[in-house]
Structure formats: structure tokens, C-alpha cells
Amino acid sequence: MTDAELAELVKSALFKVAPDLEGEEIAAEQRFRDQFEVDSMDLFNFVIELHRATGIDIPERDYPRLETLAGCVAYLKAKGFGK
């Protein structure tokens, strides 16, 4: 998968758990929390959604790497997803 495809996958996971954000432009480097007032429950649900979409087992200590769009894409690649 290309970076753009991975980014689309991440975005759709985010929109699934925060449907009111559907269609919003997501800044690659800005934290979801800072850009959209997402809270811990939203982030929790987002991780579940990423896990469902990719099958990757995401330990809790990795959650900080999933706070931005760019971070998520880098994480999925590091985990070898989409190769």
C-alpha cells in the first residue's frame, strides 16, 4: 500500500469513531487531540478501529505513536502492514 492509501485507511478509521468529523481535512503532523478535541474515549475507539482494519495487535504503550495521521502511517508501515 502507498502512504496515501494508508492515510486513507487511517482517516476512515477516525471518521468511523467520530462520524461528526467526516470530511474534515486532517493535518498530517498535528495531533488529533489538538486539532479536533478528541478525548480518551475517541482515541480508544480509534485504536480498536485501526486494529480491526489491519489485524495488528497494538499494545497500549504504542498509543502515543498513533496521535497524528503521519504517526499512524509510519506505525502501520513499521508493523509491515500493506506490504
Minimum Å gap between C-beta 74 and another protein is: 19
Minimum Å gap between C-beta 57 and another protein is: 7
d(CA 65, CA 7): 15
Cβ-count burial of 30 within 10 angstroms (0-12 exposed, 13-18 middle, 19+ buried)? middle
The footprint of another protein (CB under 8 A) covers 17-25, 33, 36-42, 44-45, 47-48, 51-52, 57-60
Minimum Å gap between C-beta 73 and another protein is: 19
